[in-house]
Amino acid sequence: MINDIGLPEVVIHDISAKEFEIIRAALKNLRDFNLEIYKDACIKRRIGIRIRANHCATAKEYCELLLRDKREADLLLKVLTIHVSKFFRNPPTFAKLKAEVFPYLFARSREEASPVRFWSVGCAGGEEPYSLAILLKESFAEEPSPPRVDILATDVDEGIIEAARQGVYVDERLDEVPDTIKLRWFTLDGEKYYLHPEIKAMVRFRRADLFDTGIFHKCDLILCRNVLIYLERAEQEKVINGFADLLGSGGILVLGKSETLPGQTRRRFQPLCPVERIYRAI
């Protein structure tokens, strides 16, 4: 099949095992990114995007480019990792967090005299953790003794982490944000929205992958939404088991609307709100 620039269309079976191993090793060595945990078909389709973008006739030619031009590793990584998100994506999930999950976690933290620790996994441009921060400010800041909160956001792409720290967004990333919140927590300058420094200060970012559960010695709430769908089943179970260990009894896990607990991990959680994919660790 010929594409619109006159080169053969690269499909997933055009990437041989040898070529895939070259790409895997290059990303591991150059950017410490592990391809092995992801579904091969999904990864190969995304590699195909970069093959076509570079006008490479074959996967072999692309491998040569990747090894020759280290900048391509960053461009490939951006394609392989999903960075599309929105503030308050799936509003019913945030409504459930506000109405039931936060009060439960805050009550527990007061009993234990400890901060409430949130972890946003695969945070993309920071929309999800900043949404948590805004929700906390809007709903609980005026309490007589508001709990101490630690919000950590992680992603595998250092470049997207740095962009998240800046807190600058286009309008489409805020299309589910009420106008009152936009006015209170964002400044519009030209076509960009700049997040208020008070909200930015509530979130700390760092580069990490799904298996870096050593970030916390304990966590109360983990949001890992629309990430597991790209992993092989065995890797999904490893990730969820790691989350369960970190959360301990009573901790809360939130998955994406198209995700479920895989295999034996169902024994480690009880559904708190199945519709919103919110679970409590046993």
Confidence of residue 6 (pLDDT cuts 50, 70, 90): very low
- Compute the mean pLDDT over every residue in the chain, rounded to the nearest whole number: 89
What lies within 8 Å, CB to CB, of 163 at 6+ separation is 125, 126
Query: Among 49, 43, 120, which Cα is nearest to 81's?
Result: 43
Residues 31 and 154 in one domain: no
Range 137-146 average pLDDT = 80
CA distance 82 to 131: 18
Which of 80, 104, 130 is where one domain is finished?
80
Q: What is the pLDDT of residue 4?
A: 38
Out of 80, 101, 123, a domain closes at 80
* CATH (domain of 167): 3.40.50.150
Instruction: Determine the average pLDDT of the residues in 229-254.
Output: 94
pTM attached to this predicted model? 0.81
More confident residue, 211 or 179: 179
DSSP 8-state code for residue 100: I
Residue 216 confidence class, pLDDT cut points 50, 70, 90: confident
**Separate counts of helices (H) and strands (E) for the chain:** 11, 10
Q: Angle at the Cα of 9 (from 3 to 12), degrees rounded to 5?
A: 150
70 and 98, same structural domain? no
Q: Measured between alpha carbons, how far is 223 from 119 in angstroms, rounded to an integer?
A: 6
Q: Are residues 24 and 106 in the same domain?
A: no
Quote the pLDDT of residue 274. Answer: 94
Classify 194 as helix, strand or coil. strand
Q: Coil, strand or helix: which one is 83?
A: coil
Count other C-beta atoms under 10 Å from residue 195's C-beta.
23
Is 5 domain-assigned?
no
